[in-house]
Amino acid sequence: MITLEANYSKKLGLPGYSSHQYSLTLRAEIADLTQVSVKSLELHGLMQTCVDREIQQTGFLPGANGNGNSQKNGNGNGHAPVSEKDHWNCSDKQKQLILNIVADHKLDKSKVEELAQDRFGKGVKLLNKLEASGIIHELLEQTGQSKPRNARFGQKAGAR
């Protein structure tokens, strides 16, 4: 028998510079190597479903009053806390640029959200700085504000 071990883990950022992580490891025995791919696919799907379901329960948050809101009037640096609804994981400049592109070009917010889901498996507000940069680039190209990369370097499209 061959033992196949698979691990799936996910970590999410939470308000107040907190985060939580959930990880799952499964072991399965298979009779021969030709079953590895099928069993791996099965294990991954099962683990992903379980981890995604379980990680939605954030549990205790330090400084929270039971509903995820801070009990303090500030966050320790003299600024009022950002509500969960308005929190974005990317930089403030990236957030503003995305919002400006959407507003200036009257883009359908659900289509922008769908683009983020398709590319990164998460909503626009959950994108990190690198992912937000990718969405910004795509939005700029879609709205004709940015030349395709190969055109920026004086190459014709399709030339290699």
Residue 101: other Cβ atoms inside 10 A: 18
- Asked whether the whole model's pTM tops 0.85, one would answer no
**Average pLDDT estimate for 1-26:** 85
**Per-residue pLDDT reduced to its tens digit, 139-155:** 999 998 875 555 444 44
Q: List the domain boundaries for the chain.
A: 2-54, 84-152
**Per-residue pLDDT reduced to its tens digit, 105-117:** 999 988 999 898 8
Which tokens in the block code for residue 147? Answer: 């030349």
Question: Max alpha carbon distance in the chain (Å)?
Answer: 61
